Amino acid sequence: MPKRNRRRQPAPKSNKPKAGHKSTGRPKVKGRRTLADPSDAPDTEIHFVSAADASKDYLCPGCGREISVGQGHLVAVPASAPDLRRHWHRGCWERRMRQ
């Protein structure tokens, strides 16, 4: 009889830490920060950033989550203080404007 070539089943992954790993006993969770919101200024300009142009990670002040590289978003730039610009998820900005 011919031999059957069977695929090997991958070994189940273990949640145990690797040898030599020191655990603090605490789960690794990214913290949230509350940022000042200068985008309430009446002279704020809105710039849309396409996914192709998004080359850095930012923290959205609307939800406190990360805006990853390659994720389209918008930038709120107060004309009176452009260094206080904030990068927002589009959904967070739209939700904020509805409130």
pLDDT of residue 98: 81
- Residue 57 pairs in a beta bridge with none
Note down the domain range covering 73. Answer: 38-98
Residue 29 located in a structural domain: no
Q: Indicate whether 67 belongs to any domain.
A: yes
For residue 53, being part of any structural domain is answered with yes
The Cα-based distances of 82 to 4, 39, 43, 57 in angstroms read 67, 10, 11, 19
Residue 11 belongs to some domain of the structure: no
Q: Rg of the Cα trace of the chain?
A: 23
How many structural domains is the chain composed of?
Answer: 1
| Amino acid 74: pLDDT | 93
Tens of each residue's pLDDT in the chain, 99 residues: 667 777 777 766 665 556 655 555 444 434 334 444 566 667 888 899 999 999 999 999 999 999 999 999 999 998 888 888 999 999 999 888 787
d(Cα 48, Cα 76) in Å, to the nearest integer? 9
Task: Report pLDDT for 34.
Answer: 40
